[in-house]
């Protein structure tokens, strides 16, 4: 009986020893699995590169013709000639319209004849003035008449010239407002003329950017009619005054528009490029902010990561400038930083 109890005790001890060994083995397997998982953290990495980084200011602008006028009738008369085809390009000096100028031509001819006769009389009085002192007063009077007639003739010739309406610059005609043969009053708009080979764009920016903007800086504009197509130009003028209510300054840009795709009056989305320089640039997703500091994870040759503090500078959507803490060519984690800690081995997904 004692021998049976002894064997039973040894059997229980061996069973307990086996059970403890099994528990230890299972614990080691679990720890090994966890370590494997830690060593197999999938992240995305990228190299630190030196790239161009520009800072831009966005604004809404309005298209303005480089030169734009209304062609109007200078006086009340019948319109005897009209050369207006809507949208037609005309050259500088080309005749657009003529008003009935019969009376003006007659007036010029009349004054020309009067001036000729008065000039002959003036010449005779000049000859008399050399021999008779009394003739000097008559000479002065005749000289005044000649001067007066010359002035009247200049005015009449100018009025005659204005009866023919010409294009003062090369441009495109707008819509016709009158018909040939119509009697028009002085000041009646005949049509418009726009120089659209270059389009000006007027937009405003906040006063805090005033010290940075300068004539010649590049701009680009887009319009809903053309989707994402960008039209390039540059700043041509900066207003000398700020709006006292909005505290903004008006900027004019000039854009080449030979295709005539852009039109005066268009609403334009303007991007003003303030600066463009080479910097070390990384994705914003690589940053791990802690209080007022910024950190990134650097990948070493063994695919282990180390947390490192960096100093950041200018930001643009999606990107941030690195002032210090990284060098060109360093490999950093740009996706999955929240899963990491120093010393962890990573598995790269993409790059």
- 200 and 271 part of one domain: yes
Distances, alpha carbon 315 to alpha carbons 53, 245, 262, 295, in Å: 9, 29, 32, 15
Largest CA distance in the chain: 182
List the domain range (segments joined by +) for residue 150: 101-162
Residue 4 domain-assigned (yes or no): no
Q: How many structural domains does the chain have? A: 3
Residue 282 domain-assigned (yes or no): yes
C-alpha 311/C-alpha 309 separation (Å) is 7
- 135 and 201 part of one domain: no
- 212 and 234 part of one domain: yes
| Strand, coil or helix: 137 | helix
- 109 and 132 part of one domain: yes
C-alpha 198/C-alpha 270 separation (Å) is 16
- 144 and 200 part of one domain: no
C-alpha 1/C-alpha 3 separation (Å) is 5
- 315 and 328 part of one domain: yes
Residue 179 domain-assigned (yes or no): no
Predicted local distance difference test score (pLDDT) of residue 7: 66
Predicted local distance difference test score (pLDDT) of residue 292: 86
Strands 41-47 vs 346-348: parallel, antiparallel or unpaired:
parallel
Residue 73 domain-assigned (yes or no): no
- 140 and 121 part of one domain: yes
Q: What is the CATH number of the domain that holds 300?
A: 2.40.420.20
Residue ranges in the chain whose pLDDT is less than 50: 33-39, 134
Distances, alpha carbon 234 to alpha carbons 126, 194, 288, in Å: 65, 21, 38
Last residue of a domain, one of 238, 254, 277: 277
Q: What is the CATH number of the domain that holds 246?
A: 2.40.30.170
Residue 168 domain-assigned (yes or no): no
Contact 251, 238 (CB under 8 A): yes
Residue 184 domain-assigned (yes or no): no
Q: Is 209 exposed, middle or buried (0-12, 13-18, 19+ CB in 10 A)?
A: middle
Half-sphere exposure of 265 toward its Cβ, with a 13 Å CA cutoff?
2
- 271 and 209 part of one domain: yes
Residue 226 domain-assigned (yes or no): yes
What residues are paired with 44 via a beta bridge?
335
Q: What is the pLDDT of residues 260-306, one digit of tens each?
A: 899 999 999 999 988 777 888 888 888 888 888 899 998 888 888 88
Contact 52, 276 (CB under 8 A): yes
What residues are paired with 294 via a beta bridge?
289, 310
Predicted local distance difference test score (pLDDT) of residue 73: 93
Contact 190, 98 (CB under 8 A): no
Q: What is the pLDDT of residues 61-108, one digit of tens each?
A: 999 999 999 999 998 999 999 998 888 999 999 999 999 998 889 998
Question: E strands along the chain, which residues?
Answer: 41-47, 49-72, 77-82, 89-90, 95-99, 164-166, 171-173, 183-184, 189-206, 218-222, 231-242, 248-256, 267-283, 288-290, 293-299, 305-316, 319-324, 331-335, 346-348
Distances, alpha carbon 327 to alpha carbons 47, 49, 305, 313, in Å: 10, 8, 16, 15
Residue 264 domain-assigned (yes or no): yes
Last residue of a domain, one of 247, 277, 307: 277
pTM: 0.59
What residues contact 186, with CB distance under 8 A and at least 6 apart?
73, 74, 75, 76
Both tokens assigned to 254: 């000039």
Both tokens assigned to 330: 């360093």
């Amino acid at each position: 009986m004692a021998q049976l109890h002894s064997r039973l005790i040894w059997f229980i001890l061996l069973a307990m020893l086996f059970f403890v060994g099994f528990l230890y083995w299972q614990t080691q397997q679990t720890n090994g699995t966890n370590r494997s998982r830690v060593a197999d953290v999938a992240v995305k990495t990228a190299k630190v590169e030196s790239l161009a980084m520009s800072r831009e200011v966005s604004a809404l602008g309005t298209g303005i013709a480089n030169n734009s006028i209304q062609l109007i009738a200078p006086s009340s008369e019948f319109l005897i000639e009209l050369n207006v085809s809507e949208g037609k390009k005309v050259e500088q000096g080309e005749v657009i319209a003529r008003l009935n100028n019969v009376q003006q031509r007659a007036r010029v001819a009349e004054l020309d004849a009067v001036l000729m006769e008065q000039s002959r009389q003036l010449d005779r009085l000049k000859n008399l003035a050399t021999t008779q002192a009394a003739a000097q007063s008559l000479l002065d009077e005749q000289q005044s008449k000649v001067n007066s007639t010359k002035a009247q003739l200049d005015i009449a010739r100018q009025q005659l010239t204005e009866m023919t309406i010409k294009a003062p610059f090369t441009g495109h005609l707008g819509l016709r407002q009158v018909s040939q043969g119509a009697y028009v009053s002085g000041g009646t708009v005949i049509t418009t003329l726009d120089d659209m080979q270059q389009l000006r764009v007027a937009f405003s920016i906040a006063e805090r950017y005033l010290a940075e903007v300068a004539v010649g800086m590049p701009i680009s504009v887009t319009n809903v009619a053309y989707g994402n197509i960008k039209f390039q130009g540059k700043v041509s003028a900066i207003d000398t005054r700020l709006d006292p209510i909005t505290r903004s300054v008006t900027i004019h840009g000039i854009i080449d528009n030979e295709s005539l795709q852009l039109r005066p009056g268009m609403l334009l989305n303007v991007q003003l490029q303030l600066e463009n320089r080479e910097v070390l640039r990384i994705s914003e997703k690589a940053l791990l902010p802690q209080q007022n500091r910024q950190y990134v994870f650097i990948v070493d040759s063994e695919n282990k990561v180390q947390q490192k503090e960096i100093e950041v500078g200018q930001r643009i959507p999606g990107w941030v400038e690195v002032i210090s803490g990284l060098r060109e060519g360093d490999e950093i984690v740009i996706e999955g930083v929240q899963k990491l800690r120093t010393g962890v081995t990573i598995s790269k997904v993409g790059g």
